[in-house]
Amino acid sequence: MLRFFILSLFLLLQIEGSKRPNVVLIICDDLNDYVETLGGHPQAKTPHMRRLMERGVSFTQAHCNIPICNPSRASFITGLYPHTSQLYGFEKWRDNEITKNSRTLMDHFRKNGYHTLGTGKIMHNGERQEWAHYQNDADYSPLAHREGKNIAHPDIPAPFRDEFEAIDGSFGPLRKVKAPFSWKSGNWKRMKDYHYESEDDRDLTADELNGKWAVENLEKLATTDKPFLMGVGFIRPHTPLIVPKKYFDLFPLESIELPAIKRGDVKDTFKQTVTSPEDDRSGDRGSKLYDTLIASYGGKRELALKKFIQAYLASVASVDDLIGDILDTIEGSPLNDNTIVILTSDHGWGMGEKDYLYKNSLWQESTRVPLVIAGPNLAQAKTCQKPVSLIDLYPTLIDLCGLSKETKKSAKGRPLDGYSLKPLLLNPTGKWSGPDAVLTAMYKWANYYDPAKQNYALRDQNWRYIRYENGKEELYHVKNDPHEWHNLALKPDHQETLKAYRKTLLAKIPA
The identity of residue 182, as a single letter, is: S
Q: What local confidence, expressed as pLDDT, does residue 10 receive?
A: 43
| Chain-centre distance for alpha carbon 60 | 14
Is residue 477 part of the annotated active site? The answer reads: no
Query: With left for phi above 0 and alpha for psi between -120 and 50, is residue 355 left, alpha or beta?
Result: left
Q: Domains of the chain (ranges plus CATH)? A: 21-137+205-434 (3.40.720.10)
Q: How would you label 407-420 residue by residue, b for 16+ Cβ within 10 Å and e otherwise?
A: beeeeebbebbbbb
Q: Residue 447's pLDDT is what? A: 64
233-260: pLDDT as tens digits: 999 999 999 999 999 999 999 999 999 9
* Cα–Cα distance measured from residue 115 to residue 228, given in angstroms and rounded to the nearest whole number: 5
Task: Kindly report the number of other CB atoms within 10 A of residue 212's CB atom.
Answer: 14
Instruction: Write the CA distances from 124 to 62, 76, 331, 373, 465, integer angstroms.
Output: 21, 12, 30, 23, 28
Say how many C-beta atoms besides its own lie within 10 A of residue 387's C-beta: 24
Q: Are 56 and 37 in contact (CB under 8 A)?
A: no
Q: What is the pLDDT of residue 297?
A: 99
Burial 432-467 (b: 16+ CB within 10 A, else e): bebbebbbbbbbbeeeebebeebbbbbbbeebbbbb
Structural contact between residues 464 and 364, judged by C-beta atoms closer than 8 angstroms? yes
pLDDT per residue as tens digits for the range 146-169: 999 999 999 999 999 999 999 999
The three state secondary structure string of 142-183 is CEEEECCEEECCCCCCCCHHHHHHHHHCCEEEECCCCCCEEE
Per-residue pLDDT of the chain (511 residues; tens, 9 = 90+): 444 344 334 433 443 445 899 999 999 999 999 999 999 999 999 999 999 999 999 999 999 999 999 999 999 999 999 999 999 999 999 999 999 999 999 999 999 999 999 999 999 886 799 999 999 999 999 999 999 999 999 999 999 999 999 999 999 999 999 999 999 999 877 899 999 999 999 999 999 999 999 999 999 999 999 999 999 999 999 999 999 999 999 999 999 999 999 999 999 999 999 887 777 888 899 999 999 999 999 999 999 999 999 999 999 999 999 999 999 999 999 999 999 999 999 999 999 999 999 999 999 999 999 999 999 999 999 999 999 999 999 999 999 999 999 999 999 999 999 999 999 999 999 999 999 999 999 998 766 778 988 999 999 999 999 999 999 999 999 999 999 999 999 999 999 999 999 999 999 997 6
- Per-residue pLDDT, 358: 98
Would residue 69 show up in a list of annotated catalytic residues for this protein? yes
Q: What is the pLDDT of residue 182?
A: 97
From the list 28, 41, 63, 69, the catalytic residue is 69
- What pLDDT, on the 0 to 100 scale, is given for residue 279? 73
Nearest to 252 by CA among 62, 463, 459, 43: 43
Report how far residue 105's alpha carbon sits from residue 76's, in angstroms, rounded to the nearest whole number. Answer: 8
Q: How far apart are CA 73 and CA 94, in angstroms?
A: 13
CA distance 222 to 214: 12
Which pTM does this prediction carry? 0.95
- Per the CB < 8 A criterion, the answer to whether 217 and 117 are in contact is yes
What is the rounded CA–CA span in Å between residue 132 and residue 113?
Answer: 11
149: which strand partners?
Answer: 146
* Among 48, 63, 108, 124, the one annotated catalytic: 124
Closest CA relative to residue 443, chosen from 67, 45, 12, 5:
67
Structural contact between residues 60 and 38, judged by C-beta atoms closer than 8 angstroms: yes
338 alpha-carbon distance from chain centroid: 25
